[in-house]
Amino acid sequence: MKATYKKYILNFKQASGTSRGVLKTKETWFLILKQDDKIGVGECGLFRGLSADDVPHYEEILKWTCLNIHLGLQVLLDELYKFPSIQFGLETAFASLNSDDPFVLLPSNFTKGTDAIPINGLIWMGSESFMKQQIKEKIEAGFSCIKMKIGAIDFQTELDLLRSIRKEFSNRDIILRVDANGAFSASEALEKLHQLAELQIHSIEQPIKQGQWQEMARLCEKSPIPIALDEELIGVISKKEKIKLLQTIKPQYIILKPSLIGGFKGSGSWVSLAQKESAYYWVTSALESNVGLNAIAQWTYMLHQDYHQGLGTGGLFTNNFDSPLLVKNGTLQYQKNKNWNFNL
């Protein structure tokens, strides 16, 4: 077996804002395995500034991985426990290599095109007019769940935008989620959560910055809106630490981003531990290309979950790879008759 890697820069169609800053490009890396006449492709979805494995020598670790591919998947996963994005790339590359179709890793009704995954429509930060335009487009496109990034513009303006949705659509018509990406200060968060609660918000992701376990625990206990941990899970690797986090904070939800938390094995560990603590979960992408998004979608479908997932990000880029993935009527679908165009 031979392994190689390649860097790829995804370009956003439109600069996309969060409380952490504005995104114009997204770096990612691909692992390509070759054995006899078969090929396997996996994406190492490194997220600069966010991933626990965002280190200067990241490429050196990829080189080491390729040189030691003969060690096999399990040994490599154990060795690379501090590099969740590479773990994800390895898992998917090996699954791809061992599949009849390198892009159908987990055959199901989803990959047959007979079932779809409900997803949320994502509203990026920007000017009030830009955000209003996005909301209008998402509702017209058939989304029944909308997630709005908040925390970068004036909070009153954000409340007004959410109110404008609620004036037209009840919580039975449109589910509203918000994602603060840690933008609120611990001292002001609870007050803001009470204001948001008036608008029948389904949940808020990461209201305050990660690492403030006691403050987050207090919010989870007192918040009128269910809280979903997102960035909080990044860098929490051992089972012992995961249990400690869940039992200390007691979140209502956790967000699973396989590229950031150790691939499917790491995500599966969080699922089983969260269920024991009565915490629910859903899955979102971490702005991977369609290659990584496809793998995450197929894994997500196998969880047989009713929640709207955060998997509608494939259309954000000008230079993504043509694929069978299609966002339609508020769902992610797989058009099995459409071919992949994966050219690096």
Count up the domains in the chain and report the number.
2
212 in the same domain as 71: no
Residue 77 has pLDDT above 70, yes or no: yes
29 in the same domain as 174: no
227 in the same domain as 128: yes
Over residues 73-89, mean pLDDT: 98
Over residues 69-85, mean pLDDT: 98
Task: Give CA–CA dist 108/105, Å, rounded.
Answer: 9
Which pLDDT value is given to residue 17?
A: 66
> Considering the domain boundaries, does residue 342 fall inside one?
no
240 in the same domain as 160: yes
**DSSP labels, 242-283:** HHHHHHHH--SEEEE-TTTTTHHHHHHHHHHHHHHTT-EEEE
Measured CA to CA in angstroms, residue 197 lies from 164, 190, 293 at distances of: 15, 10, 32
The confidence band for 268, taking pLDDT boundaries of 50, 70 and 90, is very high
213 in the same domain as 132: yes
10 in the same domain as 138: no
Please indicate whether residue 240 is annotated as part of the active site: no
Which pLDDT value is given to residue 344?
A: 80
90 in the same domain as 23: yes
How many Cα atoms are found within 13 Å in the side-chain-facing hemisphere of 196? 28
Over residues 190-205, mean pLDDT: 97
Over residues 164-168, mean pLDDT: 87
Domain boundary, last residue among 97, 129, 147: 97
Q: Residues in the chain, how many?
A: 344
pLDDT tens readout for residues 284-313: 999 999 999 999 999 999 999 889 999 999
107 vs 152, more confident:
107
Residue 143 has pLDDT above 90, yes or no: yes
73 in the same domain as 93: yes
| CATH number of residue 311's parent domain | 3.20.20.120
Residue 68 has pLDDT above 80, yes or no: yes
Q: Which of 16-30, 194-208, 248-262 has the lowest mean pLDDT?
A: 16-30
Over residues 5-30, mean pLDDT: 88
What is the rounded average pLDDT for all residues in the chain? Answer: 95
> Considering the domain boundaries, does residue 76 fall inside one?
yes
328 in the same domain as 254: yes
> Considering the domain boundaries, does residue 340 fall inside one?
no
Nearest partner of 313 among 110, 13, 113, judged by Cα = 13
CB 104 within 8 A of CB 339: no
Which pLDDT value is given to residue 134?
A: 86
> Considering the domain boundaries, does residue 57 fall inside one?
yes
> Considering the domain boundaries, does residue 104 fall inside one?
no
313 in the same domain as 212: yes
Which pLDDT value is given to residue 73?
A: 98
| CATH number of residue 57's parent domain | 3.30.390.10
Residue 128 has pLDDT above 70, yes or no: yes
Choosing from 149, 192, 209, 242, the catalytic residue is 149
328 in the same domain as 223: yes
Look up the domain containing 205 and give its range: 109-334
Domain boundary, last residue among 45, 65, 97: 97
Residue type, 67: L
73 CB neighbour count, 10 Å cutoff: 17
Please indicate whether residue 250 is annotated as part of the active site: no
pLDDT tens readout for residues 202-222: 999 999 999 999 999 999 999
Domain boundary, last residue among 34, 69, 97: 97
Percent of the chain with pLDDT over 90: 85
